[in-house]
Homo-oligomer: A and B are copies of this chain.
């Protein structure tokens, strides 16, 4: 029988320059793993990033609701003022949920 746990997936899209800082923040906040993908894009600041390939990164983590809140809070406070960062979360059903918390 399939045993599913409801958790949050947090998605962060940011400039590549923030990669190691963000990974550090993820660990610090309690994420047990992350997936990182190269991306292009354009944000509300009108800064076009698609001219140089792979200039953005998209990071996804699956975490508890508490860690998700803490993460969105930290990202908002530290980066939103000076960097082109977006962050959001959605609900996911996860197999073997204990691996994430």
B-contacting residues of A (Cβ < 8 Å)?
2, 4, 7, 9, 11, 13, 23, 32-44, 50, 56, 58, 62, 69, 72-73, 75-76, 80, 86-96, 99-100
Contact = CB atoms under 8 A, between A and B. Distances in A.
A72 B34 contact: no
B38 A62 contact: no
Contacts of A37: 37-40, 58
A86 B99 contact: yes
Contacts of A42: 23, 33-34
Copies in the complex: 3
A9 B41 contact: no
Contacts of A100: 44
Contacts of A76: 2, 95-96
Contacts of A34: 41-42
A84 B58 CA distance: 20
Return the 7 tightest CB-CB contacts between A and B, nearest first: A33-B43, A88-B94, A35-B41, A32-B44, A88-B92, A36-B40, A90-B92
